C-alpha cells in the first residue's frame, strides 16, 4: 500500500467509528494504536476492522500520543505516512487527490488545509470537485524560511516515510505539548520538495472532550508549559545543526509559544516562577516579543485579531503589570 494512516487512540469509543468511516482511500493501511484505553475503544475498532481488511489494531501500555504515533511509525510500511486524531475526520475524496499530488511531484511532504468545525456532526459532502491550488517549494530545508507554510501540525500533511526512517525522526515522548512543532521542524530540515495545497481535507473538531489538552489539572498545565520551552530547545538545537541560516525566522516563530501570564497563573506559578520561564525564552531571543511577529505570524489576521495579538504582546512584554492584572481578576 502506498499510504499508512496512523491513528492514536485513548478512550475514544464514541468517536473512533466516525473517524474510520471518513477514510475512503482503499490503497491505505490504517494503523490504530490503542494507548491503553480503559473503555471499549478497542472493541469498536475490531468490529469495524471485521469488514475492512486494511485496518489493524495495535495495543500498548499508556504512554501518550507521541509514543503511540512512534509505535505506528515503527509498524508502517506505506510509501507515505498520514496522522489523524481519533476525534477528527477526513473530507471524502480528499486523500486520493492529495496522494496523486504527492506522486506527481515526488513530494517529500504535501501540506493541506485544516478546517475547524464546532459540531461533531458537521460532516461535509466531500471535496472531490473542490477547486485546488498548490505550490511546490524546492531546496533542502527551504520550507523553514517560509512563515506562511504550516509547521505546527502533523495532521495536515502526508510525509514520505523514507525520510522519517532514514533521518531517524520521531516524536519526543517527554513532551506533552508542541511535539508536532518539533517533528515538523526536523522533517523540514530533511525535506527537499514541499508541496502546499489549499485543499480543505482535515476537519478538526474544536473543544473535543477527547483532546489531550482538555480539562487539565494544575499539574498537567505546568507540564504543558514546560513542554513548550523544552520543545523550543529541541527544535532550535536541531535547526541550528542542520540549517543555521534559518534561525532568525525560527526565533520569530518561537514567539508564538511564549507563555501568557494568565496561562501561568492558571497553572499556579508565582510571579518569580513565571519570570524565570520568560528568561528561558529570552535566552533564545524569543522574548521580549518583537511586534513584527504579529504581521509575520498572522498573514490572514483580521484587524480585530491583530489588535488582540498586539495586546497579548504588550502584556507578555510587561510581565509584572500583566501578572498583577490577571491575578487580581482571577481572584
- pTM for this model (two decimals): 0.93
Asked which of 183, 205, 227 is the last residue of a domain, the reply is 205
Asked which of 173, 205, 237 is the last residue of a domain, the reply is 205
163 vs 190: CA distance, rounded Å: 7
Instruction: Say whether both 35 and 163 belong to one domain.
Output: yes
So what's the pLDDT on residue 121? 59
312 within domain boundaries = yes
255 within domain boundaries = yes
213 within domain boundaries = no
Cβ neighbours of 61 (radius 10 Å) = 7
So what's the pLDDT on residue 278? 97
212 within domain boundaries = no
So what's the pLDDT on residue 265? 92
So what's the pLDDT on residue 304? 82
34 vs 10: CA distance, rounded Å: 6
**CATH code at 139?**
3.90.550.10
Instruction: Say whether both 189 and 295 belong to one domain.
Output: no
Instruction: Say whether both 26 and 140 belong to one domain.
Output: yes
159 vs 285: CA distance, rounded Å: 31
Residues 107-147: tens digit of each pLDDT: 999 999 999 887 655 566 689 999 999 999 999 999 999 88
Closest to 246 (Cα-Cα) out of 254, 154, 152, 41: 254
Domains identified in the chain, total number: 2
Residues of the chain with pLDDT under 70: 119-125, 207-216, 297-301, 329-331
Instruction: Say whether both 23 and 165 belong to one domain.
Output: yes
So what's the pLDDT on residue 44? 97
Contact at 8 Å (CB) between 69 and 172? no
Structure-block grid coordinates of residue 75: 509498524
Instruction: Say whether both 53 and 108 belong to one domain.
Output: yes
Instruction: Say whether both 43 and 113 belong to one domain.
Output: yes
Instruction: Say whether both 247 and 291 belong to one domain.
Output: yes
325 vs 331: CA distance, rounded Å: 10
Instruction: Say whether both 160 and 53 belong to one domain.
Output: yes
So what's the pLDDT on residue 288? 96
So what's the pLDDT on residue 300? 61
Q: Where are the alpha helices (DSSP H) in the chain?
A: 13-21, 41-49, 65-75, 94-105, 161-167, 179-189, 218-242, 247-254, 261-266, 271-282, 292-297, 303-317, 319-330
Q: At what angle do helices 271-282 and 218-242 cross, to 10 degrees?
A: 10
125 within domain boundaries = yes
Instruction: Say whether both 149 and 95 belong to one domain.
Output: yes
What b/e readout covers 98-128, taking b as 16+ CB neighbours within 10 angstroms?
Answer: bbebbeeeebbbbbbbebeeeebeeebeebe
Instruction: Say whether both 198 and 224 belong to one domain.
Output: no
Range of the domain at 192: 3-205
211 within domain boundaries = no
243 within domain boundaries = yes
Asked which of 180, 205, 230 is the last residue of a domain, the reply is 205
247 within domain boundaries = yes
Instruction: Say whether both 251 and 183 belong to one domain.
Output: no
276 vs 160: CA distance, rounded Å: 40
Instruction: Say whether both 148 and 169 belong to one domain.
Output: yes
Amino acid at each position: 500500500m502506498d499510504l499508512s494512516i496512523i491513528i492514536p487512540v485513548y478512550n475514544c469509543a464514541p468517536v473512533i467509528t466516525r473517524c474510520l468511516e471518513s477514510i475512503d482511500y482503499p490503497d491505505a493501511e490504517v494503523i490504530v494504536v490503542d494507548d491503553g484505553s480503559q473503555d471499549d475503544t478497542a472493541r469498536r475498532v475490531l468490529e469495524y476492522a471485521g469488514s475492512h481488511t486494511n485496518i489493524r489494531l495495535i495495543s500498548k501500555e499508556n504512554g501518550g500520543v507521541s509514543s503511540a504515533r512512534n509505535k505506528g511509525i515503527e509498524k508502517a510500511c506505506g510509501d507515505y505516512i498520514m496522522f489523524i486524531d481519533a476525534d477528527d475526520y477526513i473530507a471524502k475524496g480528499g486523500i486520493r487527490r492529495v496522494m496523486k499530488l504527492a506522486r506527481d511531484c515526488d513530494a517529500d511532504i504535501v501540506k493541506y488545509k485544516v478546517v475547524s468545525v464546532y459540531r461533531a456532526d458537521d460532516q461535509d459532502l466531500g471535496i472531490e470537485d473542490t477547486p485546488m491550488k498548490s505550490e511546490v517549494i524546492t531546496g533542502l530545508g527551504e520550507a523553514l524560511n517560509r512563515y506562511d507554510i504550516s509547521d505546527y501540525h502533523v495532521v495536515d500533511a502526508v510525509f514520505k516515510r523514507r525520510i522519517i526512517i532514514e533521518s531517524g525522526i520521531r516524536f519526543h515522548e517527554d513532551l506533552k505539548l508542541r511535539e508536532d512543532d518539533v517533528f515538523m521542524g526536523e522533517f523540514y530540515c530533511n525535506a527537499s520538495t514541499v508541496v502546499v495545497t489549499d485543499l480543505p481535507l482535515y476537519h478538526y473538531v474544536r473543544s473535543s472532550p477527547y483532546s489531550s489538552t482538555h480539562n487539565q489539572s494544575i499539574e498537567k498545565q505546568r507540564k504543558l508549559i514546560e513542554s513548550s520551552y523544552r520543545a523550543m530547545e529541541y527544535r532550535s538545537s536541531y535547526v541550528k545543526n542542520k540549517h543555521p541560516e534559518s534561525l532568525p525566522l525560527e526565533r520569530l516563530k518561537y514567539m508564538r509559544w511564549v507563555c501568557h501570564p494568565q496561562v501561568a497563573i492558571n497553572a499556579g506559578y508565582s510571579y518569580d516562577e513565571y519570570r524565570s520561564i520568560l528568561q528561558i525564552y529570552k535566552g533564545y531571543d524569543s522574548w521580549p516579543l518583537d511586534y513584527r511577529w504579529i504581521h509575520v505570524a498572522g498573514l490572514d489576521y483580521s484587524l480585530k485579531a491583530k489588535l488582540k495579538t498586539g495586546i497579548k504582546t504588550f502584556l507578555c512584554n510587561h510581565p509584572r503589570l500583566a501578572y498583577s492584572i490577571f491575578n487580581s481578576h482571577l481572584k
